[in-house]
Amino acid sequence: MLSRAVCGTSRQLAPALGYLGSRQKHSLPDLPYDYGALEPHINAQIMQLHHSKHHAAYVNNLNVTEEKYQEALAKGDVTAQIALQPALKFNGGGHINHSIFWTNLSPNGGGEPKGELLEAIKRDFGSFDKFKEKLTAASVGVQGSGWGWLGFNKERGHLQIAACPNQDPLQGTTGLIPLLGIDVWEHAYYLQYKNVRPDYLKAIWNVINWENIHGLQKVNHDRYADHTLMIPAR
């Protein structure tokens, strides 16, 4: 069952800040495909800048912030710890979200999911087309920058669509377990689609990696163990 698999995975997730006591630095994950592999839907220039500049900045800033947090912990400086929380949330969320996003895309993606995931989508949204429309609408509707998500609500045992502002991580802010994330920050599409976000969202469905999402209940459990606020170094 999809619910049993996702709940099993969630038990592997470490609590927020759980790695601060004895942590290694985070690193930028390699992409599982070339920068130009998602063309014509997402061009190589966007992918290179998005991965090597934007995601890298979140990783670097997260490492710096964690070092400062460690110092504040060692000094017992609660005021400094509180002051660092927004930076931890923003840069930690940026690292989490993008680490999920890259694996959610594939040059061999598109089409529809199969098996349990498709059945769960039909159960919770009526049909795949209705699900697609709802997630697209939620993503278009994000004001400013943020993300559209398909998540699993382990308390209710069903799939749920959500939108998060900025780099807020889905699980850390809503409790939903992330399955599919769509980045709607302008850096994800502006160089190709300008300010026409709906065109970008129409195109991205052609490269959604349903095999990756299927892997949640099959062979990719360990991959999702990294999707907590503090991601162990690879």
Q: CATH code at 220?
A: 3.55.40.20
Is residue 2 a part of any domain in this protein? no
Confidence of residue 213 (pLDDT cuts 50, 70, 90): confident
214 annotated to bind ligand: no
* Average predicted confidence (pLDDT) for the chain: 86
Structurally, the chain folds into a number of domains equal to: 2
Whether residue 63 has pLDDT greater than 60:
yes
28-60: pLDDT as tens digits: 999 999 999 999 999 999 999 999 999 999 999
pLDDT of 223 reads 39
Is residue 233 a part of any domain in this protein? no
* Domain closes at, from 104, 139, 173: 104
158 annotated to bind ligand: no
Confidence of residue 1 (pLDDT cuts 50, 70, 90): low
Judge if 67 and 166 occupy the same domain. no
Residue spans of alpha helices (H) in 104-207: 115-125, 128-140, 170-174, 190-193, 197-204
Residue 125, CA distances (Å) to 70, 112, 118, 139 in order: 44, 14, 10, 16
Judge if 93 and 124 occupy the same domain. no
Residue 35: which of 21, 49, 18, 16 has the closest Cα?
49
Judge if 79 and 176 occupy the same domain. no
For residue 112, give both structure tokens.
Answer: 């529809």
Is residue 21 a part of any domain in this protein? no
Say what the pTM is.
0.84
For residue 189, the enclosing domain spans 115-226
Query: What's the CA gap between 127 and 104, in Å, rounded?
Result: 21
Work out the percent of the chain whose per-residue pLDDT is above 90.
77
168 annotated to bind ligand: no
Which DSSP string corresponds to 33-86? S-TTTTTTTS-HHHHHHIIIIIIHHHHHHHHHHHHHHHHHHHHT-HHHHHHHHH
Q: Which residue do the tokens 């930028």 mark?
A: 28
Q: Which residue do the tokens 């680490």 mark?
A: 99
- Which distant-in-sequence residues (6+ apart) come within 8 Å of 74 by Cβ? none
Confidence of residue 232 (pLDDT cuts 50, 70, 90): very low
Is residue 28 a part of any domain in this protein? no
pLDDT of 154 reads 87
Is residue 190 a part of any domain in this protein? yes
Residue spans of alpha helices (H) in 108-185: 115-125, 128-140, 170-174
Backbone φ and ψ for 219, nearest 5 degrees, come out as -110, -5
Judge if 166 and 84 occupy the same domain. no
Judge if 124 and 200 occupy the same domain. yes
96-116: pLDDT as tens digits: 999 999 999 999 999 999 998
Is residue 153 a part of any domain in this protein? yes
pLDDT of 10 reads 37
pLDDT of 24 reads 85
CATH code for the domain in which residue 50 is found = 1.10.287.990
Is residue 35 a part of any domain in this protein? no
Work out the percent of the chain whose per-residue pLDDT is above 70.
81
Please indicate whether residue 157 or residue 67 has the higher confidence score (pLDDT).
Answer: 67
pLDDT of 22 reads 55
Q: For the residues 168-172, what does the mean pLDDT come to? A: 96
Judge if 51 and 95 occupy the same domain. yes
Query: What's the CA gap between 128 and 112, in Å, rounded?
Result: 7
- Which distant-in-sequence residues (6+ apart) come within 8 Å of 113 by Cβ? 121, 128, 210, 213, 214
80-95: pLDDT as tens digits: 999 999 999 999 999 9
Element (H, E) at 151: strand 146-153
50 annotated to bind ligand: yes
Q: For the residues 2-15, what does the mean pLDDT come to? A: 40
Is residue 4 a part of any domain in this protein? no
